[in-house]
Amino acid sequence: MSEVSNARRYYLLRYQFALDLCEATSHAWLTKHDEEPGTTLPEDFPLRAELALAHYTTTEDLEGADVAELRKRAGLTRSQAEAVLTAAAAL
């Protein structure tokens, strides 16, 4: 995972780590994440619905994400994760 470049992504990662630890704070981190402004992914973005289920809804949420993260957090296959990252890089 690369450096965290924005608050929205930081809060998303904190939420995910809190979920991994079954911490009660996970909801607070998700709320902070959702309150941060972001650039909504385009309607035709690959696997947009699947990403949204894992709270990846903006370009900022994908900044610094890698294949392993998207496979674990969004349940994507390797090829799907690569397609998402390629599309994100083109934005």
pLDDT in tens, 29-80: 899 999 999 999 999 999 999 999 999 999 999 999 999 999 999 999 999 9
Residue 42 lies in a domain: yes
Residue 33 lies in a domain: yes
Quote the pLDDT of residue 2. 63
Tell me if 64 sits within 8 A of 4, measured CB to CB. Answer: yes
Residue 2 lies in a domain: no
Torsion of CA 17, 71, 60, 5, to 10 degrees: 60
Residue 68 lies in a domain: yes
Quote the pLDDT of residue 56. 98
pTM: 0.82
Residue 76 lies in a domain: yes
Structural domain tally of the chain?
Answer: 1
Domain span at 47: 7-89
Residue 65 lies in a domain: yes
Distance CA 85, CA 12 (A): 17
